[in-house]
Amino acid sequence: MVGFVSGGFNRVHAADSFNRANGAIGTADTGQSWATLNSSSTFNISSNQAAPTTVTGTLHTPCVVDAGVSDCVVSCDFVSPTSGIGFVFRCVDDSNYWLALIFDGALYKKVAGSFTFVQAITAGSGTWTAELAGSSIVLKNAGVSQATVTDGFNSTATRYGFSSVNTAPGPAYDNFSVSTTAANRLVIPQAVRRSYYY
């Protein structure tokens, strides 16, 4: 019988362990180039983590990769976050993206260059995730829900990463990933496969 089974499997669209020599942040493990969206901060590799290294202004500076998917789960470890350190998702450009301020405890969206406060979140280091599906956004830290939002802003955007408005050294980012889960998959018995392919 041909049918569907549940259980799911993950497909990783972008990932970076940052386990490489100190220097420019460069390219993710999955091949995408990291892009810094303004010149207020720069990001480097330091001791197998990503970190903001130079701050020349007071703007939030997103550093993102394009994962090519909009409905996904984004995950990143935030190590020793300080004020201004953020989790960026559903980003189009420097003027349009979502930003969770990890240390400051606030979720914002930046629309046409202006930030709008969405809701408070519990500040803290750890593994933060954004579960994105259509207009639904579920933000978690260590699996604990921090925000559930229904908002279609930038729902088709495909860039994700982190941000800084801080002077290094101090905070760092690690174990970044963007993945999707197929909740159902098609099962075709071996006999059917043989008759089809041969």
Task: Please write the tens of the pLDDT for every residue from 136-150.
Answer: 999 999 999 999 999
Q: What is the pLDDT of residues 1-37, one digit of tens each?
A: 333 333 456 899 999 999 999 999 999 999 999 999 9
SS3 of residue 180 by DSSP: strand
Q: What is the pLDDT of residues 56-85, one digit of tens each?
A: 767 889 999 999 999 999 999 999 888 888
Tell me if 159 sits within 8 A of 150, measured CB to CB.
no
User: Domain 3-197 classified CATH 2.60.120.560?
Assistant: yes
**pTM of the entire structure?**
0.86
Comparing C-alpha atoms, which of 52, 198, 181 is closest to residue 129?
181
